[in-house]
Every structure is written in C-alpha cells, then in structure tokens.
Amino acid sequence: MALFGRHREHGSTPDGTAAALERYEYVLATAQPDQQYAVHAEAFGRLTDAEREELRTRLAEAVAPSDAPIDARPETLARVATDAERAASGSLARILGPLLPTVAAVVVASPLAIALFPYDYGAVTGQWAEDAEDDGGFF
C-alpha cells in the first residue's frame, strides 16, 4: 500500500491533494538526500511561523533528543526531516501530520521535484506513473 493510500481510499482529500500526496511520496522514495533537503527547505520556508514551530515540536518528539531541531529555521527543519526520513522510510509523512498536505503541495511544485518525475508529470489524469511504464510500441 502506498504511504498515502489511506487518504485516497477513504476519499478524504480532493483529487488535487491526493495527486500531490502521491507525487510527494515519489519524491520521498526516489530523491537523493540533498534533493530532499532542498525541496523541504523551500517548503518549510513557505510555512507560517506557527506552522514551523509546530513542525519543530513534532520533529523533536519523533527523533532522538540529540537530533532534535535547535530552532525553527527552514534549513534546520529540513535537515532534521531529511535525516528522519532517511533513517526510517515513511516516517516523515507521519511526523508532518496535519502539515502533510501543505508541505506536499509546495514540494511537488518545486522545479527540483518536477525534474524527478516521470515524463507524464503534468497530466491531470492521475495516470502519470502508470503511463510512464507503458512506452507503447517504442521498446
């Protein structure tokens, strides 16, 4: 099951949010640590101060005390979030909690994340990954 399959199964998110969550899952699964750091630093920079403080608290509760973020700067939060995801795949989605849809939307809109997607990324059909697997009769 996909990390975010529970959202789609229960129909609790609009189609655009479900697509963003699916693409965010792809970024988490395929991006190199430096790429994950870069897209998260950008995404966390777009959060409000209160949201960054909430994220700082959530990260501090989820990681070892020695790894907890020392401040709520986007760069600091991105480093801790990237390390947490690399240590336990799928953990960042749980850590983000209610901030997940917001962060996912910003991450998947970043130029770096767009470069990571299969070639049908821009389609609104929701078939971006499946279509990338089928190259027709070319191969």
Q: Which domain holds residue 49?
A: 33-122
What tens digit of pLDDT does each residue of 30-89 get? 889 999 999 999 999 999 999 999 999 999 999 999 999 999 999 999 999 999 999 999
Does the residue 52 lie in any domain? yes
Does the residue 88 lie in any domain? yes
Computed over every residue of the chain, the mean pLDDT equals 80
Whether residue 131 is predicted with pLDDT greater than 50 in this model: the reply is: no
Domain count, the chain: 1
Whole-number Å distance between alpha carbons of 45 and 107? 11
Those residues with Cβ within 8 angstroms of residue 27's Cβ, 6 or more apart along the chain or in another chain: 35, 36, 39, 107, 108, 113, 116
Whole-number Å distance between alpha carbons of 83 and 40? 12
Does the residue 14 lie in any domain? no
Whole-model pTM?
A: 0.74
